[in-house]
Structure 1
């Protein structure tokens, strides 16, 4: 048994409320279970109970055993001085306040319906992947759809948080914020943080000025990444290096330490040279990129915005001085989908919140137009007859698996609570 089950039992009063007594023998009446804060400190805030005819208002702490109070060192924490009732499954020791007065204890194990406990134990039984895997197929579709929406926005809030933070740090320069997070996602998982460091090291006013010449913005990004260090044979590489050196002097750019970009385990189309060249072309060809991305109403419009390809040199190269078979290095639809999911939607959500605008419906509509993601987690859900139809579905399922299933948070999950009712 986990404490979250007892939290659920206490919060929703899933036990016999009649004839309650503390282990000390005093009658107990619960007026208000309190607010479930899920923060540091006692579990339930501002509860109201009557003990031995005396009404008390304060906090309630919940444990599996009374002795967990000492196991968690609550006796040393002043946050627990206001606890008026200690609710436990099993009482095994007295718990004392600092003034040596005993904290009243309510033992629940004799007041909970055994059927509820059986349902909980069945939910937490042995699994191959997630606890409710056998019941997913039979789950009420209304419950699933409502929970998916909540999961989607939980994940969106998490993704938007660093965007909001950077907007504060840049005094609301949203164009600069967009550039930094687009750069990060052009770098994918391996080079994302490096690309982000490159972007944040360049004042956006310089990006704006240099993007009028494709070679200049490409030189700026490549040079900042350290890709132009060393000697080259190709004229194009030599030209970019010269341009970068001139840009550094012209704008008095300070040198920064940025980790080396990674090529290892990347398909050639994802090499940092190709992705930076494509990012450069995006900013060269996409004037007013911020306003276009904010106002796009359909996925087709976003595909049009990101319909760019690397400069002609890269048609026959993946790295400098190494010729390869001719191939246009355009952004693929699947890559644009990743940008939409991981950058555009969170960015639009964060920006709308900053100006007090409600845009949740349009964001859901955009995500429902995007193809479902393909990865091991989504494939596994498919084996349990959960078939996502769009990126909106897959984002919800990823949040479910990563934030709930992996941490055994069945009692905070709408699906787990629905199964508990059975």
Structure 2
């Protein structure tokens, strides 16, 4: 049994309350169980309890064993002095506050119904390799519960992504254009090269790039030079175009005191990438985009549809990078594909717009931004396909994002009791009938 099961039982009061008494025999009446504390300190705050003839307002701490109080050193932590009831599965020790005053305990072990425990164990004992602990039991869950939980997970995922954008915005001095630039650069790495591209964004300051956006060749020189791609080698020794970019980069690097290139060629990832995804190809596409779209944030914020955003991302790469997979290595290079554009809208545009909308208090913009995901096709991967096979809706990118969030935040870490689906299964018909 995990401690979060006792949290769940206490929060919903799913235990036998007949003749409820402390371990010391004092009568207990739970007026309000309190609310979960997400920060350091006791598990539940603002609880209201009547112990004997006295009503208490305070905190409730929960452990599997009462002796866990000492094991966690709560007896010397003043944050736990507000605890008025110690709820445990097994009462094996008396506990006290920092001043030595005893804290009454309630042992739930004998008060848990066998059906409740059996339903919990059915989830808790699912094999570690099972992608969904509840997979064999999903037939017991109404479709509306699954839909609701996937939508809730989607919103939580968008909120988390918007939080990351907001933190980036704060680090960049509350400059939304710079935020869009840094977010876009990192996203163009499509996971494999996100970290190097995020470093490159720092190495090519937006203030410098803005001064040269009118000149595509200078944009190329800044990006490819600071990325470490303009070094001379066997492939580039006779390439006049690369030599010209190298000279341009040297001039700009010294002019703006940019220092040495931020990255070396070996720091870019090529393993298991198709040539169309090679870092120089993506960097060429970025150079074309940054040259053709001088106002990134405004364009991403005001686009009214997925079609308009797709057009924004279709800015052509410079001619050289449409014909070279790597410096000095020719080959026909495709344009930025639709699936890549869809991912950029999902991972950059929507979180950026949501973060901005929250900062200026525009809930309608939050809603319309998230709604863009319903215009995009579903993403298919090893995680989403599992949920799709189990009957979860999987038609749009909104569905995909919800299922990915469900996997990452609930199923993989086995947080079944925090999930509406798991909670429904643990409740069972008897508990639902009594609510």
Normalized against structure 2, the TM-score is what?
0.92
Q: Residue in 1 aligned with 2:183?
A: 181
Q: Residue in 2 aligned with 1:382?
A: 388
Q: Does 1:400 align with 2:410?
A: no
Q: Does 1:87 align with 2:87?
A: yes
Q: Residue in 2 aligned with 1:96?
A: 96
CA contact (8 A) 1:167 1:174 kept: yes
State the distance in 1 between where 2:366 and 2:323 align: 43
Q: Does 1:18 align with 2:37?
A: no
Cα deviation, residue 22, structure 1: 0.7
Cα deviation, residue 275, structure 1: 0.4
CA contact (8 A) 1:212 1:284 kept: yes
**C-alpha deviations, 1:214-271, integer Å up to 9, x for none?**
1111111111111112353211111111111122233333446446322233211111
CA contact (8 A) 1:372 1:391 kept: yes
State the distance in 1 between where 2:187 and 2:372 align: 19
Q: Residue in 1 aligned with 2:38?
A: 38
Normalized against structure 1, the TM-score is what?
0.94
Mapping 1:18-417, distance limit 5 Å: 18-127=18-127, 128-231=130-233, 232=236, 233-255=238-260, 257-258=262-263, 260-324=267-331, 327-358=332-363, 359-417=365-423
Of 365-374 and 66-75, the range deviating more from structure 2: 66-75
Aligned residues: 420
State the distance in 1 between where 2:123 and 2:302 align: 45
State the distance in 1 between where 2:315 and 2:152 align: 35
Give secondary structure in 2 for the equivalent of 1:93.
coil
**C-alpha deviations, 1:170-206, integer Å up to 9, x for none?**
2221111111111101112121111111112222122
Cα deviation, residue 97, structure 1: 3.0
Give secondary structure in 1 for the equivalent of 2:122.
helix
CA contact (8 A) 1:221 1:276 kept: yes
Gaps of 5+ in 1: none
Gaps of 5+ in 2: 429-435
CA contact (8 A) 2:87 2:107 kept: yes
State the distance in 2 between where 1:209 and 1:328 align: 29
Of 200-209 and 370-379, the range deviating more from structure 2: 200-209
CA contact (8 A) 2:375 2:396 kept: yes
Of 346-355 and 133-142, the range deviating more from structure 2: 133-142
C-alpha distance 100-339 of structure 1, shift in aligned 2 (>3 A): same
Cα deviation, residue 11, structure 1: 1.2
CA contact (8 A) 1:310 1:329 kept: no
Cα deviation, residue 23, structure 1: 0.9
**CA RMSD, Structure 1 to Structure 2 (Å):** 1.8
CA contact (8 A) 1:84 1:104 kept: yes
**C-alpha deviations, 1:36-64, integer Å up to 9, x for none?**
11321110112121212122221110111
**C-alpha deviations, 1:345-396, integer Å up to 9, x for none?**
1111111112211123212321011111121111222232324111111111
Give secondary structure in 1 for the equivalent of 2:63.
strand
C-alpha distance 138-99 of structure 1, shift in aligned 2 (>3 A): closer
State the distance in 2 between where 1:215 and 1:244 align: 10
Cα deviation, residue 146, structure 1: 2.1
CA contact (8 A) 1:314 1:329 kept: no
State the distance in 2 between where 1:168 and 1:99 align: 43
